[in-house]
Structure 1
Amino acid sequence: MPRSARSPRRLSRVHRRSPPVCAGRESDERNRQVTGAVQTVVVTGASGRMGRQLRPKLASPGRLLRLVDLVRADDAGSRAVDEEFVSASITDAAAMADVCAGADAVIHLAGASAESDFGTVTQLNIHGTHNVLEAARLAGVKRVVLASSHHVVGFTHRTDVSERLPAGTPARPDTLYAWSKAALETAGQLYADRFGLDVTCVRIGTFRPVPLTHRDLSWWLSVGDATRLLEACLANQQPGFRIVWGVSRNTRGWGSLDEGAAIGYLPVDDAEDYLDAIVAEHGEPDFVSDPTLNRAGGPWCDIPLGVPLRKTRR
């Protein structure tokens, strides 16, 4: 069983500072000042690969980040604003109720982040997501962002579509992991319809600082655009449930950007800017006959089901 922290809750406070607003984020800052809605933001999986890179980008004056993970990331020097760390597992319903108390929004990044065994993906991505949604509901948190994946539509073929894929394209999962993310999305829909939560599911592409492969030309999500997307989710004033693509403004992208634009997400980065380096490393891409490039899930459509690929964030 994943370990968790039920009692007592361990908090580590960092003194408030006011970091300068970096170029490209001024409009995000103005949006937050106008809406003024989000003050305390819970971030689950805060010590994971995505959480570590986005946490300093989400920092801003007047915002408290409540970081949730089993262990704290070893990056104390980068802490710039008020934040709390809570050592807890998303599999612990009582701990999730505790961390959601008094929060204004939840960004749920924790869970199995790649293929794993059936027990792990169900325990973390289904049971864990239910704990987070239920804790948010009981605490009166109205805004929740759920990290989904483009692998939810992994068996969708590029040659099967004439336009960019709508963000709500029906699920065709390529792995147990992707199946659990499809379940995560339907759980978000349930809590939006039944309890009135504002839920945004982000079908994340390939998140990394720079694109490295042929597939990245279509599915890359830059750190800057990921930040812009989460800020748009937090500032969104439209109630209800929605799915958006977590991708940058890639020239060869599959995913429609319309749904993101509807909530104010305007990506600026394009993997095409790195084409020369990618071609030099891997040669010219063939998006028609290469099954790795013609399927949304790429090589994940062929990997063994239930065989773990990487460490999970609980």
Structure 2
Amino acid sequence: MPAPRTVLLTGAAGGLGTLMRGLLPAYGYDLRLLDVRPIEGEPDAITADLADKKALREAVRGVDAVVHLAGISLEASFDKILRANIEGTYNLYEAAREEGVGRVVFASSNHAVGFTPRPVGDDPLIAVDAPHRPDTFYGLSKSFGEDLAQFYWDKHGIETVSVRIGSCFLEPSSVRMLSVWMSPGDGARLFHAALTAPAVGHTVVYGSSANTRLWWDLSSARALGYEPRDDSEQYADKLVAEQGELDPANPDHAHLGGHFCTNPPVWPY
């Protein structure tokens, strides 16, 4: 599939959106930016809520694909998650259907399968067909988003790559993150692969770098043409010295979702 030229990037003011709006243009994309908040230095960005169906339809009009990062990225009340992540993602897909947009890259999350026990020792890597085991209302909304993507492929022919993102930051900040970290550079490489791979239908992939301590199977991401270049192990000595190794007996360390399973961080807005 040739690289789409114009891509709508939702959630462009967020942490991951800020990273991607700086990195994706190098792959030849003309980004159209959307966020509920104004984006400093981007006077042409669209400021709109995902509940604004008219604004969403105008935002997707004429684009070749959508990278959908918008929504609440931590735990929140069900009502807030429902509005932003569940209804908002539905509104995005409806706008894409109405305007004939054929490809979406959906920011899912490892928290869609957060209660999956993490691999220990010689345990196999977590597969992409692991059943949904959300650890929060946030994770539940990502499970919904993956099922919605499958429905819109089966019913309407809109292709989606659902990326179960680990943690995309400049560097990992915890021992757990050594296993799920995705460098910003690898994040851009994965999104580019997801935008350009042919005939993806609805494909679920895990989003991380090629970490030495990897917990999940990256084969479906590699099948798209993703070639991760980074590894979190360069940060391991410092983090382990500060925090110690993970303890399987600690409830915070027992599952893929980490402390989201026990005491999740709460959306501040």
Q: TM-score, structure 2 length as denominator?
A: 0.94
Deviations 1:32-57 (A, max 9, x none): xxx54401100010001110111110
Deviations 1:163-221 (A, max 9, x none): 11112311111111111110111000000111111111010101211012110111111
| Structure 2 residue 181 is matched with structure 1 residue 220 | yes
Contact 1:159 1:288 in 2 (8 A): no
Specify the code of the residue in structure 2 equivalent to 1:198: E
**Number of aligned pairs?**
268
Give, in angstroms, the shift of residue 61 of structure 1.
7.4
Contact 1:155 1:301 in 2 (8 A): yes
Contact 2:10 2:69 in 1 (8 A): yes
Specify the code of the residue in structure 2 equivalent to 1:41: V
- 1:22 aligned partner: none
What residue ranges of structure 1 are gaps of 5+ in the alignment?
A: 1-34
- 1:52 aligned partner: 18
The CA distance in 2 between the partners of 1:162 and 1:244, in whole Å, is 20
- 1:73 aligned partner: 39
Does the C-alpha gap of structure 1 residues 190 and 278 become closer, same or farther in structure 2, counting only changes over 3 Å? same
| Structure 2 residue 267 is matched with structure 1 residue 303 | no
Contact 1:40 1:103 in 2 (8 A): yes
Q: Give the secondary-structure state (helix, strand or coil) at the position aligned to 1:206.
A: coil
- Which aligned segments of 4 or more residues in structure 1 are displaced greater than 4 angstroms? none
Contact 1:65 1:84 in 2 (8 A): no
- Asked which structure has the greater CA Rg, the reply is 1
Does the C-alpha gap of structure 1 residues 43 and 300 become closer, same or farther in structure 2, counting only changes over 3 Å? same
Does the C-alpha gap of structure 1 residues 65 and 207 become closer, same or farther in structure 2, counting only changes over 3 Å? same
- 2:95 aligned partner: 135
Does the C-alpha gap of structure 1 residues 62 and 211 become closer, same or farther in structure 2, counting only changes over 3 Å? closer
Q: Give the secondary-structure state (helix, strand or coil) at the position aligned to 1:242.
A: strand
- 1:120 aligned partner: 80
Q: TM-score, structure 1 length as denominator?
A: 0.81
| Aligned-pair Cα RMSD in Å | 1.9
Contact 1:37 1:104 in 2 (8 A): no
| Structure 2 residue 237 is matched with structure 1 residue 280 | no
| Structure 2 residue 130 is matched with structure 1 residue 169 | yes
Give, in angstroms, the shift of residue 131 of structure 1.
0.6
The CA distance in 1 between the partners of 2:175 and 2:191, in whole Å, is 26
The CA distance in 2 between the partners of 1:232 and 1:62, in whole Å, is 13
The CA distance in 1 between the partners of 2:225 and 2:10, in whole Å, is 23
